[in-house]
């Protein structure tokens, strides 16, 4: 990979904040719809978001494995263990992000926790990518910002259609649940600037966490609501789009 | 070249024969729990995703655009093949109508699947022996639960265990048959190698999300499926990196 210019704290903060706020755009389809969003659309959004995460996970691994395969590989396993352990410890292993029944207060709180824990792993990915340079950082944050819109629709669907919350208030909650992205992106980037030796392991760690979340959390509910071929097309297209986008916009293509 | 073709054919035939091992548990157990098949599918999905990561990594060094074009073609071909087979009137041996449909669908999809794997094996032999060896092991390992899945459909409909094993192997015959032209094609036209690697990756990724993962979620505890598939993916990626 060619040399990339360094990310700055201000730019990272602004880009991550924009990505977090982008989650609020997921509320737009809920405004003015009397019967709400079909659950299959929400499942399609989850599949697209899952594909984006697979693509980002691949790119992080490509960089990490290219420099230090052993360290990145160990980080990959640790990331999988971390993401699974956090879900197990928090008692949210079986919380479905696309609930198909009514959602009461405690259930809604657990859903918000699931989305916040999910956002924390994505924040680590943003920070790790930013530590590799400006281009990869902005590309990863931009991709995750787009994925935030599709993914937030799942939480909004649960809060608006299953828990009876107003779209505006639900959008605010969706944005708040994405805040860990901003915080973890800045923390991870700062840590890796201070201790550069941790970078390749952290790239693997972030990739492992993203892949585990896709396979454990996002896809089971999506398959329940949408036909397999549609899921396969959406996930494959989104993942391929991210990899192709980096080939076009990254150092090799730009 | 002739010796290499023989080597490709032998390896691809062994991966095909491994599918027949999937019928063996039916000899030992009076009833196979769907959960075991789900776990097998989860492991296979992770191994195939990890192998696909390796294919894309390998191909990207030769041309990222070409890899993605090949991946799109591979996924589209599998999607079209699966769609075409799903809308045909079917019979399967002595079975017909509603009894035959699930059997034909499973064997057909597994056969399309193994065609992609045959292409992957052939192309990977063109990409280097390490990648080819890893992919062959991955495909052979994941062929076993696939054979079990086929057997689990056929056995309750009256097929003997031997017939289950034979149909399982037959479903994987495209592997040696397609590995040869794929290998020859790659050898003759090395410039199209990234297309070929992308084709195999796209076909495998599409099949993972079309068949293996959804079946695993249905047959086993979804969080366990997610964890096992992720760990299998990680193991495959680390192994590939370790071997360079």
Looking at residues A60-79, what average pLDDT do you find? 92
Contact flag B209-A232 (C-beta cutoff 8 Å): yes
Structural contact between residues B130 and B51, judged by C-beta atoms closer than 8 angstroms: no
Closest CA in chain A for residue B52: A58
What is the reported pLDDT for A63?
Answer: 92
ipTM score over 0.85, yes or no: yes
The residue with tokens 């010796």 is B3
Among B15, B238, B236, CA closest to B122: B15
B128-177 tens-digit pLDDT: 677 777 777 877 876 776 787 677 667 766 678 888 899 889 988 988 88
The secondary structure of chain B as a DSSP string is -HHHHHHHHHHHHHHHHHHHGGGTHHHH-SS--HHHHHHHHHHHHHHHHHHHHHHHHHHHHHHHHHHHHHHHHHHHHHHHHHHHHHTS--EETTEEHHHHHHHHHHHHHHHHHHHHHHHHHHHHHHH-HHHHHHHHHHHHHHHHHHHHHHHHHHGGGT--HHHHHHHHHHHTTHHHHHHHHHHHHHHH-GGGHHHHHHHHHHHHHHHIIIIIHHHHHHHS-HHHHHHHHHHHHHHHHHHHHHT-
A78-101 tens-digit pLDDT: 999 999 999 999 999 988 888 888
The CA-based diameter of chain A, rounded to the nearest angstrom, is 53
What percent of chain A has pLDDT above 90? 67
A149-159 tens-digit pLDDT: 988 888 888 88
Confidence band of A11 (pLDDT split at 50, 70, 90): very high
Residue A212 has pLDDT above 60, yes or no: yes
A61 touching chain B per CB within 8 A: yes
- What does pLDDT average to over chain A? 90
What is the reported pLDDT for B240?
Answer: 72
Question: Who contacts A196 (Cβ-Cβ below 8 Å, separation ≥6)?
Answer: A131
Residue B29 has pLDDT above 70, yes or no: no
Contact flag B237-A61 (C-beta cutoff 8 Å): yes
B202 touching chain A per CB within 8 A: yes
Task: Provide the 3-class DSSP secondary structure of residue A18.
Answer: helix
Residue A1 has pLDDT above 50, yes or no: no
Rounded to two decimals, the pTM is 0.82
Q: In this complex, which of B53, B75, B227 lies closest to A61 when CB atoms are compared?
A: B53
What percent of chain A has pLDDT above 70? 95
B24 touching chain A per CB within 8 A: no
Closest CA in chain B for residue A72: B238
Structural contact between residues B136 and B15, judged by C-beta atoms closer than 8 angstroms: yes
Compute the distance between CA of residue A56 and CA of residue A139 in angstroms, rounded to an integer. 9
What is the reported pLDDT for A24?
Answer: 84
What is the reported pLDDT for B152?
Answer: 66
**What does the domain layout of chain A look like in residue ranges?**
9-249
Q: A80: distance to nearest CA of chain B, Å?
A: 7
B199 touching chain A per CB within 8 A: no
What is the reported pLDDT for B154?
Answer: 72
Which of B6-10, B67-71, B111-115, B179-183 comes out lowest in average pLDDT? B111-115
């Amino acid at each position: 990979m060619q040399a990339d210019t360094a990310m700055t704290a201000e730019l990272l903060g602004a880009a991550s904040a924009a990505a977090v706020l982008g989650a609020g755009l997921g509320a737009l389809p809920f405004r003015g719809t009397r019967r709400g969003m079909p659950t299959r659309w929400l499942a399609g959004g989850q599949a697209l978001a899952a594909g984006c995460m697979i693509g980002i996970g691949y790119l992080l691994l490509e960089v990490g494995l290219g420099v230090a395969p052993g360290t990145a590989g160990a980080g990959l396993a640790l990331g999988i263990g971390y993401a699974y352990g956090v879900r197990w410890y928090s008692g949210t292993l079986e919380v479905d992000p696309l609930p198909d029944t009514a959602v009461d207060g405690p259930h809604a709180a657990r859903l918000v926790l699931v989305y916040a824990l999910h956002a924390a792993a994505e924040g680590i990915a943003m920070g790790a990518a930013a530590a590799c340079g400006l281009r990869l950082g902005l590309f990863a944050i931009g991709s995750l910002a787009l994925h935030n819109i599709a993914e937030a629709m799942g939480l909004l669907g649960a809060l608006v259609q299953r828990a009876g919350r107003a779209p505006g208030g639900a959008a605010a909650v969706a944005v708040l649940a994405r805040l860990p992205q901003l915080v973890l992106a800045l923390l991870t980037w700062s840590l890796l600037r201070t201790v550069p030796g941790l970078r390749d392991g952290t790239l693997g760690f972030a990739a492992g966490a993203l892949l585990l979340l896709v396979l454990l959390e996002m896809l089971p509910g999506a398959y329940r609501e949408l036909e397999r071929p549609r899921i396969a097309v959406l996930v494959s297209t989104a993942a391929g789009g991210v990899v192709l986008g980096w080939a076009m916009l990254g150092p090799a293509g730009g | 070249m002739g010796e290499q073709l023989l080597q490709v054919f032998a390896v691809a035939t062994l991966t095909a024969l491994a599918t027949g091992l999937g019928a063996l548990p039916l000899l030992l157990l009076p009833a196979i729990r769907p959960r075991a098949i789900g776990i097998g599918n989860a492991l296979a999905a992770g191994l195939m995703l990890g192998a696909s990561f390796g294919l894309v990594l390998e191909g990207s060094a030769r041309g990222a655009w070409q890899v993605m074009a090949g991946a799109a073609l591979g996924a589209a071909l599998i999607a079209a093949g699966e769609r075409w087979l799903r809308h045909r009137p079917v019979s399967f041996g002595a079975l017909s109508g509603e009894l035959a449909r699930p059997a034909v669908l499973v064997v057909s999809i597994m056969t399309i699947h193994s065609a992609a794997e045959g292409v992957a094996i052939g192309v990977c032999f063109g990409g280097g022996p390490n990648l080819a060896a890893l992919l062959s092991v991955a495909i052979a390992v994941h062929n076993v639960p696939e054979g079990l899945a086929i057997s689990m459909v056929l056995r309750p409909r009256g097929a003997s265990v031997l017939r289950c094993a034979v149909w399982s192997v037959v479903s994987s015959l495209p592997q040696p048959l397609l590995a040869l032209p794929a290998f020859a094609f790659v050898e003759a036209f090395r410039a199209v190698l990234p297309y070929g690697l992308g084709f195999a990756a796209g076909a495998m990724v599409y099949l993972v999300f079309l068949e293996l993962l959804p079946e695993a979620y249905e047959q086993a505890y979804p969080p366990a499926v997610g964890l096992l598939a992720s760990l299998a993916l990680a193991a495959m990626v680390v192994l590939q990196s370790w071997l360079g």
